[in-house]
Chain A
């Protein structure tokens, strides 16, 4: 498996990268960690004429706290997410999820930006970003814009990202202290995409759930924000009945395709099991 030829560019700034994309149009592709794109190139399912490598853009490789937000540069790797003390304290679901992505070698290379921007429904971070109400900062020739994770995904490998644009930052609103969280993923083995997975973030006061978000991975051509499932939990004591209702509502929107992980009915079932387990674990963690 050998990739087709291309011209290689390693810009030193986002501006330079954008200029390269503008010059080379649809023949150009951005590469971050490369672990989605390079295998596609080796299979010749992707054949960019120009490869714009973002590895030198230190500005995109940072994790910081801003007023009201956690900001993570797109080039931050999963390995760095796992090691970040700031995230461990403020947004631990990112560590939990990162540890379920691929394998150690891939996590050293794989970036958060690549994971959320590439539009692969098998990627795990998009559902997490949906429950976190994250937004993506996008730079383009015409300036910058922000798109909410919940509005970003359009179809398999189709997102709100347009030709010539680069996703530069992930912005996560600060989570309530004492929130509960969980990412539950069923897979056949380390390195596999999810048969189905669920992300849950919720808060609880005085025994009652005050806020809850649920999202699903790899059970449709995009990640799915299960708004109804989350809403069904709010105001309840997160009792069995409420959880069962949330599970049903989440399963209702799942549209998995049959594949080696199982037929559609099984994957929908597993989505439900993952949602239930994620809610239960998140509830156990909520202060």
Chain B
């Protein structure tokens, strides 16, 4: 028997399990420049693909002349729709039940649309040839406003859908209409609004933005013609789904396709979709027999792959005079661009927008969403949020503030009054979601106390008096937001993508010497899965995290999973990891019992071992058990120590948080300075506080960008006016304030370890906190709502409208 002198505390520490601030195992390679991103991949004979793209928002293609391009030394091929048609690859299915042109077929529908694919020996000759492909266009009137797109006489955008009166999500009521999605009780909501003592109404636009990860999208496709195997390395947030889609599109059997996501330089939803670049690279590799690489440049990334938001929301909220919310109605005009390529679970064409009753106990609610085609890029991805959840959260958090103005109530007080109470969980909302757990009052109270909310309000009062006296030109604004997310898609009963249930998976192999490898169906894009999933497992199976390798992203080795987006990794794959770990532990218990010659039930788990109840000096460590698993197992038991879990969660998880933002708005310049930002997050059980804090910092910074300056600005012709990082607002370290973080812990009752997911919360809660703060700065002057982004000129225009500006 092993002599053991280590204390329980020392053994726990050695595991670096749940709750520890474990340093990241990924960092060694990244800090030494040894990451392996897709553009780092270099294969023998590899060619390079580059697109000819439409300069117009809407135009008919009259002719394409490749002759000059084909004469450029090094150019191997120039593919157009005409080349793909015989293969039936000129259109591809989208995740939303529509089709998208791989290469433009007679018409271009958005600026930057793929028209031809040049394949050359290197990126320089490819670029030269792109320049020489002559495309003759006939410009057509462009539609960039979804309201105008739905006007009776609006130009018809999609020739390929001519005459189709229904689509994947039901009837189409106009030639540019995609779907109507409706949920909730229309009659009850109507009644609540009609009988209400107070109704507040507002038109709220969440502008089109872009996830804009620092690494753009790209891939390397390599067709091995001899054995018929296709390997594709790429920026894929869902590699297994890509394999299935690639097989369905190409006809190559799925077992002969291998998809590998190498290191990914940020995703944020941008890398969920399947893009024409992937298809063209695969086709080009099949045609040429050599690997083909395609990497977007930044302009292409902003113009063509995966926008987010563009929700035009009309809301009505009903309440009693003393501030009890009685009903909520929302209609959304959703601009999906030229093709419906939203990445949503099949049954949810508007994602989980119906989480829009937020953190409040609202008895009646009704939502309708109309999806519309325009001459803008397709996408509609969940940019650092679960599907359409940031739109929903922004909507309700603005509406509550709008109502507070109308009731002349403090917005924090109005929230407290309407919160779902702790004892109401699990709580079923009027729009049908079952919230798993929450303690909203405790969280908000902690936040308000931390920032001295009453003190801030008195300071604001003094600031407004000083402003009125002409002593300052700055107005103080205080934004409170209280969000509830719905993440971790999701139960197969609700959620699938292309018919694939949204479970996730983990497979564990414990090696004889007591170390292990875990493989998952997800893929990290910076979240640190290799660090945190090892922590979950360390606590479950008592093997130090440093002895556990976590692998993801290779479809030949990892179990099938639906990937990483919508904060689903921890709720779903994290659960699968715990469950697989528990299978390992169950088998380990039987082996330990056999070795210790006691009954299974006589053993208890103790950090990293099984010990005999009442005789703690008799134990077998996990390392000892692992070795025995390979040479001395109970009679009739299979050797080895491996397990796999495919986890179908019983419910989503519902992280929440209370954010407070304090700003100072200079009415002369329109510049808003963030003086203070306090973020309290409750993501259930906390796996690694260091990583949680990092996720919150990052999400808040993305929220800052969206609220304060980001917008994909199209002109009337459909030109994207800010397709570079000069004009598309990404804040630097100078514009980014220091963030304060805090937490409460309300575990999820249905998740094996109680974790809920956190990566997207700060983006969801952050945007409304910033926007509420800017709106609040002008509340005393009569403002109820002003649209984002709150950039300098819009803020100044608001001040001007409220007659707060002065001559320069």
Q: Chain A: residues with CB nearer than 8 A to chain B?
A: 1-2, 4-5, 44, 103, 186, 188-192, 195, 244, 247-248, 251, 259-263, 266-267, 269-273, 275-276
Contacts and interface: CB of A to CB of B under 8 A. Distances in A.
Contact of B668 (A1, A5, A248, A273): A273
B808 A260 contact: no
Contacts of A4: 128, 131
Contacts of A248: 807
B473 to A, nearest CB: 10
Contacts of A192: 726
A260 B727 contact: yes
B792 interface: yes
A195 B808 CA distance: 14
Given A2-B124, A4-B128, A186 B796 contact: no
Contact of B721 (A260, A263, A270, A273): A260
A269 B796 contact: yes
Nearest to B791: A188
A38 B808 CA distance: 38
Contacts of B671: 186
A272 B808 contact: yes
Contact of B669 (A5, A191, A273): A273
Interface in B733-753: 734-735
Nearest to A272: B808
A248 B808 CA distance: 8
Given A4-B128, A4-B131, A251-B808, A188 B709 contact: yes
A248 B796 CA distance: 19
Given A2-B123, A266-B797, A190 B732 contact: yes
B732 A186 contact: no
Contact of A262 (B128, B297, B792): B792
A270 B669 contact: yes
8 contacts: A2-B124, A2-B128, A262-B796, A266-B797, A269-B808, A270-B669, A275-B808, A276-B808
Contacts of A195: 792-793
A188 B729 contact: yes
Interface in B663-679: 668-671
A110 to B, nearest CB: 15
A261 B727 CA distance: 9
Given A189-B734, A261-B793, A1 B299 contact: yes
A40 B808 CA distance: 35
A190 B735 contact: yes
User: Which of A103, A195, A267 gathers the greatest number of chain B CB atoms within 10 Å?
Assistant: A195
A190 B730 CA distance: 10
A248 B709 CA distance: 29
The 7 A-B pairs with the shortest beta carbon distances in the complex, nearest first, are: A272-B808, A262-B793, A2-B127, A266-B793, A190-B732, A273-B808, A260-B727
Interface string B290-332: 0000000101000000000000000000000000000000000
B731 interface: yes
Contacts of A2: 123-124, 127-128
Contacts of A103: 732
Interface string B786-808: 00000111001100000001011
A261 B808 contact: no
Contacts of A275: 808
B732 A272 contact: no
A282 B719 CA distance: 42
B729 A266 contact: no
A260 B735 contact: no
Interface in B261-304: 297, 299
Contacts of B734: 189-190
B713 A186 contact: no
B193 to A, nearest CB: 37
B547 interface: no
B549 interface: no
Contacts of B726: 191-192
Contact of B722 (A5, A260, A262): A260
A181 to B, nearest CB: 20
B724 to A, nearest CB: 9
B124 A188 contact: no
Among A2, A186, A276: residue with most chain B CB under 10 A: A2
A4 B127 CA distance: 8
Given A189-B732, A189-B734, A191-B726, A272 B807 contact: yes
Contacts of A259: 721
Contact of B792 (A5, A261, A272): A261
Most-contacted residue by chain B among A190, A266, A271, A276 (CB, 10 A): A266
Interface in B195-238: none
A272 B669 CA distance: 10
Given A248-B807, A275-B808, 6 more contacts: A5-B128, A103-B732, A186-B671, A191-B732, A247-B808, A260-B727
A44 B132 CA distance: 12
A244 B297 CA distance: 47
A61 B571 CA distance: 60
A5 B735 CA distance: 38
Nearest to B727: A260
A44 B722 CA distance: 18
Contacts of A5: 128
A247 B731 CA distance: 31
A44 B669 contact: no
A190 B709 CA distance: 13
A130 B807 CA distance: 26
Contacts of A1: 127, 297, 299
B732 A266 contact: no
A276 to B, nearest CB: 6
A267 B731 CA distance: 21
Nearest to B721: A260
A5 B128 CA distance: 9
Contacts of A189: 709, 729-732, 734-735
Contacts of B797: 266
Contact of A263 (B128, B730, B793): B793
B28 to A, nearest CB: 26
Interface string B737-778: 000000000000000000000000000000000000000000
A261 B668 CA distance: 15
Contacts of A266: 670, 792-793, 796-797
A266 B801 CA distance: 13
A276 B807 CA distance: 11
Given A4-B131, A266-B793, A266-B796, A186 B808 contact: no
Given A2-B124, A186-B792, A271 B808 contact: yes
A251 B807 CA distance: 11
Nearest to B794: A262
Contacts of B670: 262, 266
Contacts of A271: 808
Nearest to A5: B128
A57 B557 CA distance: 58
Contacts of A260: 713, 721-722, 727
A186 B796 CA distance: 13
A5 to B, nearest CB: 8
A233 B797 CA distance: 30
A100 to B, nearest CB: 11
A244 B124 CA distance: 55
Nearest to A47: B131
A259 B159 CA distance: 34
Nearest to B736: A189
Choose among A244, A248, A251, A260 the residue with the greatest number of B CB atoms under 10 Å from its CB. Answer: A260
B799 to A, nearest CB: 11
A4 B132 CA distance: 12
Contacts of A270: 669, 792, 808
A2 B735 CA distance: 31
A267 B732 CA distance: 23
Nearest to A193: B726
A286 B791 CA distance: 34
A195 B671 CA distance: 12
A104 B734 CA distance: 12
Interface in B508-558: none
